[in-house]
Amino acid sequence: MKPVALPAVSAVLLLVGTATQAQEGPLAYAPSLYLGADAMFWELNRDGPAKDADSAGLRLRGGLAFNEYFALEGHLGTGGSDEGVELDDLVGLYAKGSVPLGSQFRLYGLAGVTQVELDVDEENDVSYGGGAELDVTPNLAARADYMRYLDEENYNFDAASVGLSYHF
């Protein structure tokens, strides 16, 4: 083969490979649902002379992952009482941004709105938090996070949670 023909053949093979890949399109990510359950360790931090309260409850999560970087997630929580404060329910909706750090481990951040009903008060507020998720099997992941659900003038309501998620 002549020296001029080698670059020409290489260029043609490169173009054919690129055209074939373009016809296949980019890697497709089908949106997927996930459900999870967590032990939720909540804390009500009050300003002033009132005592803080902390207890454990249950949190259920569900979400729709649009791709490996973005999902919408909902939380339902309840349970636990301390210092005369009981968590009746917690309902929230969040945008979830994820950063994969390998094929099985992700860090993520959550931001959205939450309604928290305690037996002493009921409030809605902007909420935010972050956590980590580790795939145990292709469909099961262990997860831990910390959320600031309420940041009110006289108190804040936070929770640390650990649990499992099942990805459909």
* Mean model confidence pLDDT for the chain: 87
For residue 72, being part of any structural domain is answered with yes
- Classify each residue of 91-120 as buried b or exposed e, where b means 16 or more C-beta atoms within 10 Å of its C-beta: ebebebebeeeeeeebebebebebbbbbee
Strand partners for 63: 34, 73
For residue 95, being part of any structural domain is answered with yes
Q: What are 126-142's pLDDT values in tens digits?
A: 999 999 999 999 999 99
Higher pLDDT, 17 or 89: 89
For residue 19, being part of any structural domain is answered with no
CATH number at residue 96: 2.40.160.20
> Which region among 2-6, 151-155, 157-161 has the lowest average model confidence (pLDDT)?
2-6
Write down how long the chain is: 168
Higher pLDDT, 33 or 29: 33
pLDDT at 107 exceeding the cut of 90: yes
Q: What are 60-88's pLDDT values in tens digits?
A: 999 999 999 999 999 999 999 998 899 99
If one counts the domains in the chain, the total is 1
pLDDT at 89: 96
Residue 81 domain boundaries: 32-167
